[in-house]
Amino acid sequence: MHRPRRNRQTPVIRAMVRETTLAAADLILPMFLHEDLVDTPILSMPGVTRWSLESLVREAGAAHALGIPAIVLFPKIEEDLKSPQAGESFNDDGLVPRAIRALKAAHPTLCVITDVALDPYNSDGHDGIVRKNARGELIILNDETVEVLCQQAVCHARAGADIVAPSDMMDGRVAAIRNALDAEDFTDVLILSYTAKYASALYGPFRGALDSAPKDGDKKTYQMDPANSREAIRETLLDEAEGADMLMVKPAGLYLDVIARVRDTSTLPVAAYQVSGEYLMLKSAAAGGWLDERDIVLESLLAIKRAGASMILTYFATQAAQWLKED
Ligand code: PBG
């Protein structure tokens, strides 16, 4: 008789045969920041804070001390700095470049990743530059947007960013950003491409955190249709050919099949983003006493890893690293 249970009988044997492990080194912490001097709890994401510059540096240091290698910056930009052309997105004295400089000065070994997209800076709330065509329809201008994204990526690199992560889903942006970085001598700056970013309902709480929801229309002409996974392969092959160093699938938990397909298609490292709506679902079930927070969070992260992600962006990063340390 076959007895698979023999391999499950004790903690020691289970540890020996375990196929997937989760470590703080796998986790990347997305962090919100703003110009204010006080920290603000984010109402749409209980337990998550929008930090002042000073607190950001302190909290990033605390996460790094727990073994978290990297953070991603998400700025809330003042309303009067937003414009249709999103010029603030490549201001060398803007919030993000100042944050990068402060973080690298305080924590030289912390890997600083920046989000490259126009939505926090664009008065229209879209990831690209918006125009109304002759029929009055909303058009997201691809190539004009890519030019601004290149300036934004170079601006972040100049400030000291280790990795730039275009999250906009415009066509051709990875190759264009690679060329722009290389032309400015930033050949060592990595590109983590949001390869398969879906037009998901799970981003709602994030847009609340940054006041960055589109004013008009939705993001379905650039973010992917949740019904498609072969299309993720197409995006993977293009990003690889265009020179991406790392690929990302987003969201994570509802897209484990896509993570697995991207993993099998490419030899590049794959990241996955457990987004704000995923955070909120787990957090609220735990707050209601319905699920055990520690168990469900660690299981959700382990599942993302098992599917093929080597890096996981998660708002639970610091808490999970603490739990893993206690184990
Ligand atoms: C925007 C961006 C979004 C997220 C990360 N970068 C929102 C969007 O595409 O509308 C979402 C992250 C989350 O929900 O946690 N470029």
Cα(117) to centroid(ligand 1), Å:
9
- Residues recognised as catalytic: 197, 250
Q: Which of 203, 218, 315 to mutate to test the pocket of ligand 1 (most atoms within 8 A of CB)?
A: 203
- The verdict on whether omega for the bond into residue 251 sits within 30 degrees of 0, i.e. cis, is yes
pLDDT tier at 39 (50, 70, 90 boundaries)?
Answer: very high
Q: What is the pLDDT of residues 159-185, one digit of tens each?
A: 999 999 999 999 999 999 999 999 999
Q: What is the pLDDT of residues 57-113, one digit of tens each?
A: 999 999 999 999 999 999 999 999 999 999 999 999 999 999 999 999 999 999 999
Q: Which of 97, 84, 90, 155 is nearest to 125 (CA)?
A: 84
The model's pTM? 0.97
Helix (H) / strand (E) containing 263: helix 256-265
Residue 122 gets which letter from DSSP?
B
Residue nearest to ligand 1 atom 10, measured at CA: 203
Ligand 1, CB cutoff 6 Å, lining residues:
115, 117, 119, 127, 167, 203, 206-207, 219, 275-276
Helix axis angle, 317-326 to 53-65, nearest 10°: 30
Residue nearest to ligand 1 atom 11, measured at CA: 203
